[in-house]
Amino acid sequence: MTIIVTGGAGFIGSNFVFHMLNKYPDYRIVCLDKLTYAGNLSTLKNVMNNPNFRFVKADICDRKAVYTLFEEVKPDIVVNFAAESHVDRSIDNPSVFLETNIMGTATLMDACCKHGIKRYHQVSTDEVYGDLPIDRPDLFFTEKTPIHTSSPYSSSKASADLLVQAYNRTYGLPVTISRCSNNYGPYHFPEKLIPLMIVNALNDKPLPVYGTGENIRDWLYVEDHCKAIDLIIHKGKVGEVYNIGGHNEMKNIDIVKIICNTLGKPEDLIKYVEDRKGHDMRYAIDPTKIHSELDWLPETKFADGIQKTIQWYLDNREWWEEIISGEYQNYYNKMYANR
Ligand code: NAD
Ligand code: TYD
């Protein structure tokens, strides 16, 4: 079995590469990644010499490069993680989100149609459903919840999902889509809430909480997401959407306080700053379908996962120090200096 994993030098994609190489010693995993600011070859250093692994630097929008790779490796399965993934960046500059997340998805699926494939899996997000009200804890996103996006990021992901479904219906491409809630864990780029707060707290820098900090996200340990995708590509039904989430809703402010307390840092590092434009209030997944059809349940409780994650950032300082010493500083100043 040969699997092309796009975006495998990023946060979730790299964790998926590790999971698959570990679990299936007879599979060949080919990682296709453009190495944008979010992709990091040092993340993959422990698998670079694995004979079942190959890294190819390419853009999923580059039709020639994608077709050449497909021709050469003849993949059985493609799992598409490659994306521009940060909501704040999409508010600042939507166009690259449309290019990569929509056109890149179409290019990959064209290659799949041309070369034939057993499965194309699209890694989507719960953000395509928009948000839920804070005062209705009885409401959850199911696979039937209408698409109703808020940010350029979520709109680009929703557009890609619609195209994936169109390629299934029109060309008979064997597709599946997963829509997962917020992930956390090792190799998470420090522009996102949890790693940003850990890194800033370790550097005794202010912890910028948007708005009131009351917004709720439904957090899932990254390994549980990878296991769910593994199940879907092997046992999921073609043409179906699967929501992934573990009923772990937390307010942003409570997470930031846990990080302060675990690291022994004072809560007065917390600074409430100007809110994100169009900020979604609450995400919450109903995972009944993937549980009942594929027997998936999350294995890592948040209380354990957050401790493991904080410990990983303590043990892997060189990984994130290298990141924040470069172009990241310009990003940080642009996003936070006048907030
Ligand atoms: P990430 O930003 O950490 O990694 C994205 C990777 O894609 C990087 O390695 C980057 O170099 C690569 N990439 C970007 N543009 C590319 C292009 N044009 N061609 C080839 N490679 C390109 O993202 P992540 O958090 O790992 O998210 C992975 C996927 O999971 C995304 O599709 C995202 O929408 C989805 N998702 C993320 C979350 C989350 O909480 N992070 C939750 C649900 C779904
Ligand atoms: P983020 O990690 O960007 O994920 P998403 O927007 O895709 O859910 O943000 C998670 C939550 O944390 C979101 O409500 C915005 C908030 N947030 C802050 O309060 N401060 C920050 O510096 C960041 C990056 C996010």
155 assigned to some structural domain = yes
Give the orientation angle of helix 317-324 with respect to helix 193-202, to 10 degrees: 100
Whether 149 has a pLDDT exceeding 90, the answer reads yes
Q: Over 90: is that where the pLDDT of 35 sits?
A: yes
**Is residue 39 one of the residues assigned to a domain?**
yes
pLDDT tens-place string over residues 39-82: 999 999 999 999 999 999 999 999 999 999 999 999 999 999 99
Question: Which domain CATH number covers 37?
Answer: 3.40.50.720
- Note the pLDDT tens digit of each residue in 225-242: 999 999 999 999 999 999
Do the domain assignments include residue 237?
A: yes
Is residue 331 domain-resident? Answer: no
Task: Give the closest residue to 11 by CA, choosing from 93, 106, 109, 83.
Answer: 83
pLDDT tens sequence across 175-224:
999 999 999 999 999 999 999 999 999 999 999 999 999 999 999 999 99
Look at residue 326 and tell me whether its pLDDT is greater than 90: no
Question: The domain containing residue 98 runs over which residues?
Answer: 2-188+220-248+279-300
Gap between the Cα atoms of 196 and 100, Å rounded: 24
Q: Using only C-alpha atoms, what is the Rg of the chain? A: 19
338 occurs within a structural domain: no
Asked whether residue 65 is domain-assigned, the answer is yes
Q: How many helices (H) and strands (E) does the chain have?
A: 13, 13
In angstroms, rounded to a whole number, what is the distance separating the alpha carbons of residues 103 and 61?
Answer: 6
Q: Is 83 in the pocket of ligand 2 (CB under 6 A)?
A: no
Buried b (16+ CB within 10 A) or exposed e, 205-217: eebbbbeebebbb
Q: Is residue 325 part of a domain?
A: no
How many domains are there within the chain?
1
Mutate to test the pocket of ligand 2, among 217, 253, 257, 270 (most ligand atoms within 8 A of CB): 217
In a domain, 139, yes or no: yes
E strands within 232-303?
Answer: 241-244, 249-251, 270-273
Q: Is the CB of 184 under 6 A from ligand 1?
A: no
| pTM, full prediction | 0.98
Protein residue whose Cα sits closest to atom 5 of ligand 2: 87
What mean pLDDT is reported for the chain?
Answer: 98
d(CA 245, CA 236) in angstroms, rounded, equals 16
115-143, pLDDT tens digit by residue?
999 999 999 999 999 999 999 999 999 99
Sequence-ordered list of residues with C-beta below 8 angstroms from that of 173, at least 6 positions apart, any chain: 109, 112, 113, 117, 120, 167
